[in-house]
């Protein structure tokens, strides 16, 4: 299952990703991270800021959780290879997490291949786009979310509200 993690700077996207990595590492699921900032707190199985090295590792690996931070930049510079990650990553057993400050930075192919979204505080235009693409007017609440709060929805499920700080506290992150 591929996922979008979207929200403005300091809304909680990276912390949520770190929580997922910790949870899945404890279950024995490897995590591969492309992070231009090289944040050591990801504690991933594999992490790089080099997109070429990252893509090579992803396509050599099987059944990992794959995180692309700053997706808008990475996808824009590495089309169509990064788009292949969204369309064919499942064939390698990967679950991909595309992290971005704005949904409009992500190409439609990435949004269309993602079966769930974690929406943190974002602007009105981003909320409208997600509301249309996920067929739920409730995403307009995204303009009112506080730091750490997010809305989660699978393509065909209901919206739930969460708080990344509560998740981090529960897993001792």
- d(C-alpha 58, C-alpha 97), whole Å: 13
Q: Which domains does the chain have, with CATH numbers?
A: 3-170 (3.40.50.300)
Contact 7, 126 (CB under 8 A): no
The secondary structure element, H or E, covering residue 4 is strand 3-6
The tens place of each residue's pLDDT in the chain, 173 residues long, gives 899 999 999 999 999 999 999 999 999 999 999 998 889 899 999 999 988 899 889 989 999 999 998 766 655 555 666 777 777 777 788 999 999 998 888 888 888 888 999 999 999 999 999 998 888 888 989 999 999 999 999 988 999 999 999 999 999 99
Please give the angle made by the CA atoms of 80, 84 and 90, to the nearest 5 degrees.
Answer: 170
pTM of the model: 0.91
**So what's the pLDDT on residue 75?**
59
- d(C-alpha 52, C-alpha 42), whole Å: 20
Alpha helix (H) residue ranges in the chain: 13-26, 51-60, 71-77, 81-88, 108-113, 124-133, 164-170
Structure tokens at 62: 């099987």
Contact 133, 156 (CB under 8 A): no
**So what's the pLDDT on residue 74?**
58
- d(C-alpha 173, C-alpha 95), whole Å: 22
- Sign of torsion over alpha carbons 46, 49, 51, 53: negative
**So what's the pLDDT on residue 148?**
98
Q: Which residue has the tokens 């824009």?
A: 76
70 Cβ contact list (under 8 Å, min separation 6): 35, 36, 99, 100, 101
């Amino acid at each position: 299952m591929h996922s979008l993690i979207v929200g403005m700077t300091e809304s909680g996207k990276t912390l949520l990703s770190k929580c997922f990595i910790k949870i899945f590492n404890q279950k024995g699921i490897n995590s591969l991270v492309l992070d231009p900032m090289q944040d050591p707190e990801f504690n991933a199985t594999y992490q790089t800021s080099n997109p070429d090295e990252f893509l090579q590792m992803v396509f050599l690996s099987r059944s990992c959780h794959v995180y692309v931070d700053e997706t808008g930049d990475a996808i824009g510079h590495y089309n169509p290879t990064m788009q292949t990650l969204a369309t064919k990553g499942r064939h390698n057993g990967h679950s991909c997490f595309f992290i971005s400050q704005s949904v409009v930075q992500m190409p439609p192919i990435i949004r269309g291949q993602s079966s769930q979204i974690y929406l943190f505080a974002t602007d009105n235009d981003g909320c409208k786009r997600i509301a249309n693409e996920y067929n739920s007017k409730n995403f307009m609440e995204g303009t009112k979310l506080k730091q750490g709060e997010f809305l989660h929805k699978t393509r065909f499920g209901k919206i739930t509200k969460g708080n990344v700080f509560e998740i981090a506290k529960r897993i001792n992150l």
